[in-house]
Amino acid sequence: MKKIIILVLVIVSFNFVNAQIEENPINLLAKRTAENKMLGVRFLKDFIFIKNNIYQKKTKSDLDKSIALFDENLNNMVMFLPKDKDVEKNYLKLQNFWNTYRLLITDFKKENIKKVVYKSLQFYKLLDKFNNSLLENHPSYDKYKKKIKKINKITNSNNEMSALSINYVLSRGMKLNKLANEFGFDIGDIQKKLKKFFKAKKLPEDLKEIKIDLDETVKNVEAFLNRDSYQPKLIYSYSKSFSNKSFQLINNITKN
């Protein structure tokens, strides 16, 4: 029954014309695609933290909220898909994969980490492909392109910080060094991306506080990584703080 409802929604949405796409302006689409891109990596991070008994109750709550937000964003976007075969195909692939993936990341007892890691990599590629095709086929894409590039810098920085925390727990906490190599990271690269984003000499007031918080988090993580002791709760806190500020920053950028 659920599959029939989804199919009906897709068929209806594919008949929308570009004028109707404007009911869901590109700034809102950019916000939703950016959020889902960040959630795409957060799912795996939360799963690994739960499997490693790191703040299990909090992390399960985070995961539930992330799944609900991803669903909300995806359901909203499907109602305004452009009439483009590639977008349609990418959406259907993503939706079908998501229907099984969401069960995978919430089955903490049965699913092994290796399987979830590789399925997560597949999921992220599908998600990225859909997001790009959706935005690029919006009639206002060219006018909003520069802002989308800025948004991508923040989402990429956020996802590198998530990859850092995934790598940290896999390699130090679970001794899965080979698997951790799938999520290489460079703290210096995160710093460079943030500097590029915040290169304007005069920042709007609503960005100054976020910039200070993000810079401080990166400095703390850099110092933290040099310690010999394994402290997963700290990396959880740093990663969550960075993610929350990234979501706030995306929201501020896409207000108009």
Tally Cβ neighbours within 10 Å of residue 4. Answer: 8
* Percent of residues in the chain assigned helix, strand, coil, to nearest 5: 80, 0, 20
- Structure-token match 């920042």, residue found: 203
Residue 35: predicted pLDDT: 97
Global pTM value: 0.85
pLDDT digit of tens for each residue in the chain (256 aa)?
555 555 444 444 444 444 444 455 889 999 999 999 999 999 999 999 999 888 999 999 999 999 999 999 999 888 778 888 899 999 999 999 999 999 999 998 877 888 999 999 999 999 999 999 999 999 999 999 989 998 998 999 999 999 989 988 988 888 888 887 777 666 777 887 788 777 765 667 777 888 888 888 888 888 888 887 889 999 999 999 999 999 999 998 888 6
Report whether 135 contacts 31 (CB < 8 A). Answer: no
Report whether 247 contacts 159 (CB < 8 A). Answer: no
Residue 4: predicted pLDDT: 52
